[in-house]
A and B are shown apart, each in its own frame.
Chain A
């Protein structure tokens, strides 16, 4: 059971997070708190030619939220604002089971979370932060 939730990919991103840290002079910076548990995340992004050139995150949280932030920041680089927004929409639908993850996709590692409704918010926290940041651009 726990292997389904705490997959190798999630634990790898949790123990060795990618893109962790602040960005100087970011175009996008958004802080979000999960009021249920007190976990928090701040996402940063820099845009070049209308595309995400760099995306990072800081904050403290459980393995699911941290791994999700790590994967998200990698995923959104190179995307336009519109593409990033629809990627986030897609991910959130996937976390409610409305979309299917492709097995080749690293994000499929988060599939196990769907079975634990109280943890879905952990996975979507950084994505929602980025979404709210995009809306303010």
Chain B
């Protein structure tokens, strides 16, 4: 870029064709009275800032600290999650699956992009990508390795393919060394990826490869 370019105020990259096509469609639908600008803005605001994985972190932290809530969550996830105020589209029928010392759960939607919006927000790009959708049910250990996740040899993987309107949330294992932590501090540890099942939760500073033997 030359210094001249740098100072030309009106210089912008030509918008790509999708930008133009979507803009044209939006104008047309607004002019026809089929959608309203305010509604579109409010929908974007909702899913960009109000609904996201922070909600799921609260569910997990509460399950770690409140055995009664955890029992309810594993039996009737929809009801237990709704009691915390997290309800809505793509979360009407919830099931929570628990990771243990011997079972590790992984969630996918091989047919599209089904994902529990009220607790995790909109799915990340990789979750919707062809390679993830193809390999999660074929080579889950290889998928986990791509996220830097190693499981002990005796841990069995259980994959959940979201082919109907049931939506799945993984209850990750609570990391060692967090005894007595308040719920809020625990919620800060819970990552979105751990609630999809591609990661385990480690304490800040921990080597995520854990106690793997040095080869």
Partners in one complex: no
Residues of chain B having any CB pair with chain A under 8 Å: none
Chain A residues with CB under 8 Å of chain B are: none
